[in-house]
Amino acid sequence: MQDPKSKKSRHYCHIAMGANLPSATGTALQTLKKSLELFLLESLQIRRISKWFNTPAFPANSGPDFVNGAVVVETDLTPTEVLAALHRIEAEMGRTRENRWEPRLCDLDLIAYDDVIWPDLETFEEWKSLDLPSQQTKTPDQLVLPHPRLQDRSFVLVPLNDIAPNWVHPVTGITVSEMLAALPAEDLAEISEIST
């Protein structure tokens, strides 16, 4: 299947951001803010930026707390081009990819691209239904959109709710604010807004 690109030339992407290690740029927060400066160079025009939040590492006790945020960008790139651009920004900030769910200098995840389901509904459902042990060891060999576990992750939904509460999941028909409200209270208890 080819990269989806409708007749319209502009597309909106939701991107989750996270870091829990200092980099050559500075603290985790400074690194994420610096990474935003590179978006326009990659044809990613930032339209909205969330507040920043302290969140526990996932899985629990797997490293220092994270700084998390989210952005909405406008672009004429295809989904795989957006993903490649995000990987280049991560690399520029010093990110390497060695172990799954390792502490990170800069983590930029493409959560959604318009209302595209990619590569198909069957693949999305397969990755959405993985149990936690499988999630820790398996990595898809292609981009899956929307992110198959965004509805389970408070560290994604809290910042995303700050800038796109009414975005509707193209598979479930549920908004970001509804997904956030469905999470257990304990998933949200240790998340706090960072004063900047």
Which residues have CB under 8 Å from 143's CB, separation 6+?
79, 80, 83, 110, 118, 119
Rounded to an integer, the average pLDDT of 100-104 is 62
Q: What is the residue extent of each domain of the chain?
A: 11-190
Residue 133: cis peptide before it, omega within 30 degrees of 0: no
Distance CA 186, CA 85 (A): 35
Lowest mean per-residue pLDDT among 15-24, 88-97, 119-128, 134-143: 134-143
> If residue 124 lies in a helix (H) or strand (E), which one and from where to where?
helix 121-128
Instruction: Report whether pLDDT(190) > 70.
Output: yes
Distance CA 71, CA 32 (A): 11
pLDDT score at 98: 62
pLDDT score at 8: 62
CA distances from 102 to 38, 105, 107 (A): 23, 10, 10
pLDDT score at 95: 73
pLDDT score at 99: 57
Residues 25-50: pLDDT tens digits? 999 999 999 999 999 999 999 999 99
Task: Name the CATH topology of 11-190.
Answer: Alpha-Beta Plaits (3.30.70)
pLDDT score at 102: 57
Q: What is the residue-averaged pLDDT of the chain?
A: 90
Residues 137-166: pLDDT tens digits? 677 888 999 999 999 999 999 999 999 999
Distance CA 127, CA 147 (A): 9
